[in-house]
Amino acid sequence: MKHFKLGDAQVQQAIANFISEARQCSRTDYEDGQGGVLGLAAMSTILACVVAVGEVLLEDERDRGKTQATVRAFYRQMVDKTSWLKPPVGTDHSEEHAIKLLVEYRDGLLHALGRPPWGMLSAHQPADVQAREHKELWQLVVPDFIDAVEETVERLVADPEKARYAWNPEAEKRGIDREPVKKEIWNTL
């Protein structure tokens, strides 16, 4: 039985599909004419990718299935850790706040169809930090985050060692594997 690796073409196509879908959501306006993009849908999709790739990067087997550990593993590999996240005015950027925000978005969207009350999603960078609305919230710029995730995945796959990491480590350990969804099937979902 073939066990997929992070660098395999099938895995790369599955990741590319998630990134493409997230990007499309980040550019699509709601139909109600009230403005805004499908940021929650974009984040649900891209965070699924972050958690899946983060699982591959985990060094401690005991962390498998733990969202915070998988997000932390991915975040620590990110090429761009700051341009997509704007802290509240008067607050410094920190790794812990960034990871906590991503975990709470992922958990909130997955389990409660909500978002953390101390975070907001944005379709674009604020022109001026002092002039931005909701200065007390952590602002996550969705398109920039998607770009940062894509750039990180590209860098990971370009690393020959990381490209050989097991795509589904737990399944490989147990002798089973799940094939990533093929593009022709993906487009029918």
Of the candidates 156, 146, 167, 115, the one whose C-alpha atom is nearest the C-alpha of residue 21 is 146
- Beta-carbon contacts of 58 under 8 Å, excluding residues fewer than 6 positions away, are 64, 69, 70, 73, 169
3-state secondary structure of 90: coil
In a domain, 42, yes or no: yes
CA 103 – CA 122 distance, rounded (Å): 17
Q: Beta-carbon neighbour count of residue 84 at 10 Å?
A: 21
Cβ atoms of residues 70 and 51 within 8 Å: yes
What local confidence, expressed as pLDDT, does residue 189 receive? Answer: 47
What local confidence, expressed as pLDDT, does residue 180 receive? Answer: 62
- Residue numbers of the domain that contains 89: 9-186
In a domain, 17, yes or no: yes
Cβ atoms of residues 17 and 181 within 8 Å: yes
DSSP letters along 35-83, please?
--B-HHHHHHHHHHHHHHHHHHH-S-GGGTT-HHHHHHHHHHH-S-SST
The CA distances from residue 154 to 18, 95, 161, 168, 183, in Å, are 14, 22, 13, 18, 19
Sites in the chain below the pLDDT cut of 70? 1-2, 33-36, 127-132, 169-189
pLDDT per position as a tens digit, 6-20: 999 999 999 999 999
In a domain, 89, yes or no: yes
What local confidence, expressed as pLDDT, does residue 128 receive? Answer: 61
In a domain, 4, yes or no: no
Query: How many structural domains comprise the chain?
Result: 1
Which pTM does this prediction carry? 0.83
In a domain, 61, yes or no: yes
Within its chain, how far is the Cα of 102 from the centroid? 8
Pairing of strands 85-86, 138-141: antiparallel
Of the candidates 61, 58, 85, the one whose C-alpha atom is nearest the C-alpha of residue 69 is 58
CA 7 – CA 53 distance, rounded (Å): 11
E strand intervals along 88-164: 119-122, 138-141
In a domain, 141, yes or no: yes
